[in-house]
Every structure is written in C-alpha cells, then in structure tokens.
Amino acid sequence: MAEAAGVSVSTVSHVVNNTGARIGQDARERVRRAIEDLGYRPNAMAKNLVKGASRFLGLVADAIASTPFAGQIIHGAQDEAWQHGYVLLVANTEGNQGAEASAISMMLEHKVRGILYSTWYHRAIDLPAGLAEADTVLVNCYSTGHPVPAVVPDESTGGRDATQMLVDQGHQRIAFLNTRTPSPARDGRLAGYRQALQSAGLPFDPSLVAEVQPDQEGGYAAVDHILATRATGVFCHNDRVAMGLYDGLRDRDLHVPTDVSVVGFDNQEVIAAHLHPTLSTVALPHYELGRRGVRVLLGLDVIERPGPLAVACPCVPRNSITRPSRV
C-alpha cells in the first residue's frame, strides 16, 4: 500500500494484522487513515506466498446439478470451511475424467489445504489420480482400494428408522419398495428394514420386498403388487417412489394413510413436504456430509473406526403414517 502513510511496510503489516507489536498511536492512526483513503486491501496471494500455505479448500463434485439436494453438500462444506477461515474452490466435473484431473491439479497448484471429493449419490469410487498428493476426504462416496477418509450417510440405520416408524404404529405387514440399482443405498436400507422387523419380532417375508425403478414411475407401477401383498405399510426406497405410489393408490381410490401408510427416504423437500398428505420420510444428511467432510479434513473430527464415517439420517415424521385399519 503506501508509505504514503509515512511509515514502513513492516509497521503497516503490524497494524493491519495487529500482531502484538507495540506501535505508537500516531503511526497507528496514520496507517488507519491511509488504509481508509487508499481503499487498501491486503493482497491475500502475497500473504499466502510468504506463509507457504493457503486458506483454500478444494471441493470437486461429479455433479453439482444432477440432483436437487446435491448442492447441500457444497453448502455444508462452505459454511464449515468459512467458519475456520477457509475459502472453497469449487469444481464441477460432470463425471468427466479429464475435467477431474485438471480440476485436481489446479487445486494442487493453488496449494489447497486439502480436497473434498464428492459424488451426488452414495457409491464406491476409484480414487482419482492426483488426489493422493493432497489431504483428501471423500464425501458421499468411499474408496474400496486405498483407505482414504470418507464420510457417508448411514443407510442402514436410516432404513431401520424408516421401518420403525411403521412398526411403531402397529404395522405388521410392511412392504419395502427397494431400488433395483445395486448400491450402498439398496443394501443398507434393506439391512435396516430387516433389522427393524427382527427387533420387532416380525418375520422377514421376501415376498414383501420388491425392486423397482427408483422414481415416480417405479412407485406407480408397483401399486398392484403392493395391494396383492396386503401390506398395510410401505417403506419406499425414496420420496419419488413414494410419490408414484401415492398416484397409483389414488387411481384405485385408495387413501394414504388410512388405507396404506407410506414412508419415504431422502426428504426431498419439494416432494415430501407437499404431497397430500405430507410424506413421512428419513432425511439424507447432505449438508451434514459436507460439513463433516471439512471437519475431518481439518482434523477437527477424527474417524475412529476403520471404514467410512457414517452420518445419521434423521427421521422426518409427517402425515403419511397412521395405525393400520386391519392387521
């Protein structure tokens, strides 16, 4: 800035960062005024250069866009990073290998403190080359090869809690409309479903679980099957399936929850909070995933046990569940 303030650079540095250095009132004042007048801003890059470390955190995502709530990961990461004085460098790679590689090396060149690598749906990944060069944590995904710290949703506890909401109301025949796509979500939620049944002393009846396309169409198409099972409650793999199920049920003049109780998964606001009746569901903790991701990156949280850190999926009870009219 300016020794237009009539002092040396080091003096300026001291007052700007107010280090412990004892600086006289007059000098201090002169600097303040010069800052004011010149509209001076310290140059963060020069600062980082000399400090040898930046305040950047990289976030590379395979799809900021594809799914409505994926943005929540960024949001959570950003909030937590910010709180610790870090700034997020965001790169979207749309799954493109080349983009991914150049995003990562750009981050490395900016000497980021670390990199968060996130996917829009929970899955196993092959660790992109380059990530090894930096502190990395995986968000919403995990590496089967190298043991890289990872943060993922706790699918099975989520599945258990979803089922439990039905059990709590006295349902005994509970169907599960799972996805047909192989994934941690499919396996985890199924495990949770079985767990809830078991702890309730209910038998596991394979005919009660069906695999469908994980969207409205899948739920809609499954109505007849559900009706045939004479289930009184249905746990849907996600809110979209539940929405399709609502539609199908209504087409047969059946009513949620009086005829059939329904519970979803994901807590996709636009849907769950506004269906008729509003949908009880279990939330995918995207915001929390992002937040925890930076916490483990910064060493604020420690992953105790081997394997990914499982983040709880909170229940969001609404109005799609009631006691069964028959048993």
Q: Which of residues 270-299 bind a copy of itself (CB under 8 A)?
A: 270-271, 274-276, 287
* Contact letters for a copy of itself, residues 193-232 (x by CB under 8 A): ----------------------xxx--x------------
Q: How far apart are CA 141 and CA 116, in angstroms?
A: 11
Yes or no: say if 206 and 229 are a contact pair by the CB < 8 Å rule.
no
Identify the helix (H) or strand (E) that includes residue 90.
strand 87-92
**Partner interacting with residue 322 (select from DNA, a copy of itself, none; CB below 5-8 Å by kind):** none
Q: Smaller CB distance to a copy of itself: residue 192 or 214?
A: 214
Shortest CB 76 distance to DNA, Å: 30
Helix crossing, 25-38 with 9-16: angle to 10°?
90
Residues 6 or more apart whose CB falls under 8 angstroms from that of 106 comprise 89, 91
Q: Which of residues 155-184 bind a copy of itself (CB under 8 A)?
A: none
Shortest CB 192 distance to DNA, Å: 50
* Contact letters for a copy of itself, residues 86-105 (x by CB under 8 A): -xxxxxx------x---x-x
Shortest CB 65 distance to a copy of itself, Å: 4
User: Does position 19 bind DNA by CB under 7 A?
Assistant: yes
Residue in the structure block whose two tokens are 């199920």? 245
Q: How far apart are CA 238 and CA 10, in angstroms?
A: 59
User: Does position 7 bind DNA by CB under 7 A?
Assistant: yes
HSE-CB at 63 with a 13 A cutoff on CA atoms is 12
Residue 139's DSSP bridge partners are: 118, 151
Residues 6 or more apart whose CB falls under 8 angstroms from that of 303 comprise 149, 296, 309
Using the contact rule CB under 8 A, the part of the chain among 108-116, 142-150, 169-177, 187-195 near a copy of itself is: 108-116
Q: Which of residues 36-55 bind a copy of itself (CB under 8 A)?
A: 39, 41-46, 48-49, 54
Q: How far apart are CA 230 and CA 19, in angstroms?
A: 73
**Partner interacting with residue 16 (select from a copy of itself, DNA, none; CB below 5-8 Å by kind):** DNA
**Member of 18, 36, 51, 305 binding DNA (CB under 7 A):** 51
User: Does position 24 bind DNA by CB under 7 A?
Assistant: yes
User: Does position 250 bind a copy of itself by CB under 8 A?
Assistant: yes
Burial of 18 (0-12, 13-18, 19+ CB in 10 A): exposed
Q: How far apart are CA 180 and CA 149, in angstroms?
A: 28
**Partner interacting with residue 1 (select from a copy of itself, DNA, none; CB below 5-8 Å by kind):** DNA
Using the contact rule CB under 7 A, the part of the chain among 37-45, 174-182, 231-239, 307-315 near DNA is: 37-45
- Tokens, residue 82: 């910010």
User: Does position 69 bind a copy of itself by CB under 8 A?
Assistant: yes
Residues 6 or more apart whose CB falls under 8 angstroms from that of 52 comprise none
Phi/psi at 186 (nearest 5 deg)? -60, -50
Q: Smaller CB distance to a copy of itself: residue 180 or 276?
A: 276
Q: How far apart are CA 147 and CA 220, in angstroms?
A: 41
User: Does position 50 bind DNA by CB under 7 A?
Assistant: yes
Q: Smaller CB distance to DNA: residue 13 or 195?
A: 13
Using the contact rule CB under 8 A, the part of the chain among 12-20, 76-84, 201-209, 308-316 near a copy of itself is: 76-84
Yes or no: say if 99 and 110 are a contact pair by the CB < 8 Å rule.
no
Q: Tell me which residues touch DNA (CB under 7 A).
A: 1, 6-14, 16-17, 19, 21-24, 26-28, 41-43, 46-47, 49-52
